[in-house]
Chains A and B, each alone.
Chain A
Amino acid sequence: MSFFKYIAKNRLTFTFLLLGLPLFLFVIIPLAKMILASASEPDILWKTVMAPEVRSAILLTLFTALLATAIGFILGVPLAYLLARHDFPGKRLVEGFIDVPIVVPHTAAGIALLFVFGRQFFLGQAFSKIGITFVDTIPGIVIAMLFVSLPFLIDSAKEGFKKVDVRLEKVARTLGASPWQAFFRISFPLAWRSILAGNIMMWARGISEFGAVIILAYHPMIAPVLVYERFETYGLDYARPIAVLLILVSVLVFIGLRTLAYKGDRS
């Protein structure tokens, strides 16, 4: 079959390909160009890697996002399970509120958090009694990341639990399992892949957060804030190597975790 005949036969596929391609290039070209430009100046990239404030910023970003994800995991998975298994009045409202952080501008989210966790407000005061403050501290970064990335974990875990046939839990109960055992031996392992995917998404979202974090904690500086600061103070050429480094680290970790998650999938 000639090329033109093939196109004539698959007009829909071809048209959609034409429409989709620019979008794909739109994502890939800026990233590729930036990385390639940096790769042509390896000495600058190396200097950036070796700069202590850059390394500490990137490590801080990965660590705080991980901390936010851990909190999300411990408190969010149970909530996701409740939402998947129970119907109650106002459930839609609860689900809606959990997704709100996705649509709220993140600087606004940061302001909102400041209003509750700031020193002069009630939660801020309560936490300061046990020595935790949120302005310009690591806990501040963590709650900012937690707030904006939580929906990704909850939604994914909830869908995971919904896919587990509730009768599997019922059978387990009749065989002598307590509700806890039914959860930990049946529902949780079966929803694990969705939960893990949600955790990865949450972590990735935490790493990429800027707006909410900068309102609560300009310092200590996470990598996105550092990129912004370098850009503002010294211009494009100084911001770029850090940006490249941040992208490389995120992408590598993301790919690694995804591979890990899919490897565990037998079905």
Chain B
Amino acid sequence: MTNVAAKIPVSVITGFLGSGKTTLLGKLLRHPGMNRVAVIINEFGEQSIDHDLVQISSEQMMVLDNGCLCCRVRGDLQETLVDLWMKRRNGETIDFNRVVIETTGLADPAPVIHTMITDTSVCNTYVLDAVITLVDAVNGNEQLDTLEEPVKQAAVADRLVITKTDIAEPAEVELLEARLRELNPHAPIVRCVMGELDPKLLMDVGVRNKAASEAAIESWLGSQAFMPIEGAGASLRPDRPRPLPRGQHTAGVDSFCLYYDRPFSWKTFSIAMEVLTSLRGPDLLRVKGLVDIEGERGPVVVQGVQHLFHPPVTLDAWPSDDHRTRLVFITRNIPRALIENLVGAILATAPVGAAAAAPASTPPSTPSAGPA
């Protein structure tokens, strides 16, 4: 397709068992802002959606009063998305302009994201816009300590929603928020009680428009989260929570932003990412960034989850005067130095002129890499 903006955006809502997805969906399905949104609800969710709201004991799909298309599935997500599109094209359903997918609480979200990136029949029509992860304030800290999926769910999020803050201890909520911010600094965090959430928060998150604004790009990339504040000492944004107490970090998970002053050739950059993903793909929980590619007017937007990357999108122009390549990583058991060294080694072997990029040693206002 010509432009990702022409595809139907998909928001994925994920979160561990009991994180409040069902409550959130119950409210969302009634919200007037959900007009022309198709919501795909996973039939294997831990709890049924309010049956007064969605009478689909024999029907798997229906349009609600607010114009929201509610669709329950038992089977394959790809098939459902393709079938939905065919129904829309044939005039057999509403002209939905967005899809929201609820994933099962136990699931690793990566496969759903990979489907959105790689399945031709899906990505011809749809584009992944945002991953929204719900984290339960009551159990979230413990889940992050003991389970793998909640960590991955938080790492891949574009938006983090802390639920049940009304019944959790305030200190637990603060700690959870601090841990999430450390784990995934680029994702804005909101608190939510009883599923009361503005649907706008779930929408138009990704950089889907080649002429995206600076604010939209920075919001998506979140590299500002890594910018040091003069005099702050701890390299934190003023609104960042206090540093975590010792022993409260999420084991093995690290996040950081690397900057490069000079442009890459696309080939060099691709090789660097291919080597990285083939060596440590499973532990690259999230990569996203703006890349300065030789010969391109604007930056190339890249993003990946584990070993798979979305198709790159070249923007029409840089959003600001800062044309440095910036890459945000959220990793598991991969030290930052390893990635720096690996990219450095590939750059060193690239032909002169084709790989002029090097980590910025004296960046204009920031160190070469933001603090984790």
A and B are partners in one complex rather than unrelated chains: no
Which residue numbers of B lie inside 8 Å of A, CB to CB?
Answer: none
Which residue numbers of A lie inside 8 Å of B, CB to CB?
Answer: none
